[in-house]
Amino acid sequence: MKKKILVLLVMVGVILAATASAAASDWEVTGGFSIINVTLDKWNSTIDDLNSLVDGNFNGLIPTTNVDEMDNIEKVPMLSLGAEKALSDKWSARIEYEYIFGAVETEFESFNGASYVDNEGEIKVDLHGIAFLTDYSLNDNWSLGGGVGFYKGTKSKKLTGPAFTAVGLAADEDYDLDAVSYRFGVNYQKEISTNWDFNAGLDYLYMELDDEDEGNVYSKGLIYNLAVSYNF
């Protein structure tokens, strides 16, 4: 955990240092929100197995009711903060901190021999990363770009309640995550006032994750980006 915090502080420090130097050079500060479509088949297979176990009354051993199934992970949000510098009339480079997060949950009641009692499950993911990106300007508004990102984080798994305990699945564990991503896409930029620009983009993202719990996990999908930038 201390190592993760140190890595995060270094990444944020790099971004802040670049941002702080923006006032003295031709930089832009950017910040945005994105929705990432993901195809986390291995994780979703685990979720499907868990839902089947609960829906099937734990293989007929423990009656369940009022089941709220755990959803598959299909979309996750991302927050970003970065700094961009023009390299030439056409090319620019950007470095940004990215935070990818999300959680899925399940709730149900199980019969303990006398009454129905509550059980809960949650899988939560937090990834902190730094991305190195370049953009090629097509005209005043449109550009093409891409790059690579590196991430570290945690997958938390919590399964609580007498039903999970009875079958040996009760858990409250954190697992290390390491990831690398590759992306390519198109971006639209429009000046909205002096020094301020609005940005919207569509990228294709491929990500490889090393999950301490389940091994290698792969994902691919589109990123929908909305951002604003400030020109110094």
* DSSP letter assigned to residue 15: H
* Residue 1 predicted with pLDDT over 60: no
Q: For residue range 185-214, what is the model confidence (pLDDT) as tens digits?
A: 999 999 998 889 999 999 999 999 999 999
Residue 219, φ and ψ in degrees, nearest 5: -145, 150
CATH number, position 154? 2.40.160.20
Domain residue limits at 72:
2-231
Q: Which residues contact 34 (CB under 8 A, 6 or more apart)?
A: 77, 78, 79, 80, 223, 224, 225, 226
Q: For residue range 23-66, what is the model confidence (pLDDT) as tens digits?
A: 445 788 999 999 999 999 999 999 999 999 999 999 999 999 99
- 140, with CB counted inside 10 A (0-12, 13-18, 19+), is exposed
* Residue 158 predicted with pLDDT over 50: yes
Residues across the chain: 232
* Residue 12 predicted with pLDDT over 60: no
The per-residue pLDDT for 167 is: 93
Total number of domains constituting the chain = 1
Q: Distance (Å, rounded) from C-alpha 123 to C-alpha 221?
A: 21
Q: Distance (Å, rounded) from C-alpha 189 to C-alpha 96?
A: 17
- 10, with CB counted inside 10 A (0-12, 13-18, 19+), is exposed
CA atoms in the 13 A half-sphere facing the CB of 209: 28
The per-residue pLDDT for 194 is: 83
Residue 111: how many other CB atoms lie within 10 Å: 15
* Residue 15 predicted with pLDDT over 60: no
